[in-house]
Amino acid sequence: MNESAAAAARRIGSACDGRVPRVALLLGSGWSPLAAALVPRVELDYAELPGFPALAVGGHVGRVRVGTLHGAEVLLLSGRKHAYEDGDPRAMKGAVQALAAAGVTTLLQTNAAGSLDPAMPAGRLMLLSDHLNLVQASPLVGERDDRRFVDMAAAYDPALAALARQAARQAGVTLHEGVYAWVLGPQFETPAEIRMLQRLGAQAVGMSTVPETILARHAGLRVLALSMITNMGCGLAAESLSHAHTLAGAARAADDAARLMAALLPMLESAA
């Protein structure tokens, strides 16, 4: 861990009076209504925290908020920096390392994704069982010790995944499950690329999450990840894809996302 991450961890710890939640929630595109539901006791802009990125994508505001969400104490990160912004998969490295140093033990990631499965239309939620790093880029390049050789056999914690399934049943929410394919973007995929991803065994595709999962596992954090399905992959439906379309599609899953989180977050807090 570098000094900027350590400094950010101290800043977070001080702002929280030493009471840093064990669960961190990273909000991706479409998940911002959860931030409005949080009752905060601490708010810090990314700009106040050494090593945290500057954000430039709509819906990603760049703020750390600590408080109560659906009855659980969480550290909420509103937004991530994507590798497509400057080609660097290490964009969230300082933030993830700071979380671990501050005392977080579990990272719940969220994202918006395109569906590759006709049985999983827009408006549904998907639990990540695994991922495909199609970019074949790593945020651990440059690390100097053997911890960089991270075992990714259980990148998405099986015990936490079981809690997510239990929470979905309790909330009455349909929760799909599948493999998430990470592509660099920012352009959307072609129909041929969508067919390729289907043949590789992916159920959803997006432009985030995988670098942060690698960073989190390197830092010793347990990871759970959820995709909000906002559209069908190119060529699978008659729709024109754009970032605005992604955000609009997210509204169709907002109610299910809120109900799932209301059941899931207390479970994660108890397990952390």
Tokens (6 digits) for 149:
């050789």
Q: What is the pLDDT of residue 70?
A: 94
Catalytic residues: 29, 60, 82, 84-85, 112, 207-208, 231, 243
Residue with token string 């479970």: 267
Phi, psi of 36 (to 5 degrees): -70, -25
What are the tens digits of pLDDT across the range 248-268? 666 778 899 999 999 999 999
What are the tens digits of pLDDT across the range 102-137? 999 999 999 999 999 999 999 999 999 999 999 999
Q: Measure the N-to-C terminal CA separation of the chain; round to a whole number of Å.
A: 22
Mean pLDDT of 38-48: 94
Phi-psi region at 119: left, alpha or beta (left = phi > 0; alpha = psi -120 to 50): alpha
Taking each helix axis as running N to C, give the angle between helix 210-218 and helix 93-102, from 0 to 180 degrees, rounded to the nearest 10.
40
Helix or strand (DSSP H, E) at 64: strand 63-69
pTM value > 0.75: yes
Distance in angstroms (rounded) separating the CA atoms of residues 224 and 161 = 7
Q: What is the pLDDT of residue 132?
A: 98
Q: In sequence order, what are the residues at sequence separation of 6 or more whose Cβ sits closer than 8 angstroms to the Cβ of residue 88?
A: none
Beta-bridged to residue 244, according to DSSP, are none
What are the tens digits of pLDDT across the range 163-193? 999 999 999 999 999 999 999 999 999 999 9
Q: How far is CA 161 from CA 19, 108, 207, 262, 267, in A?
A: 26, 11, 22, 16, 11
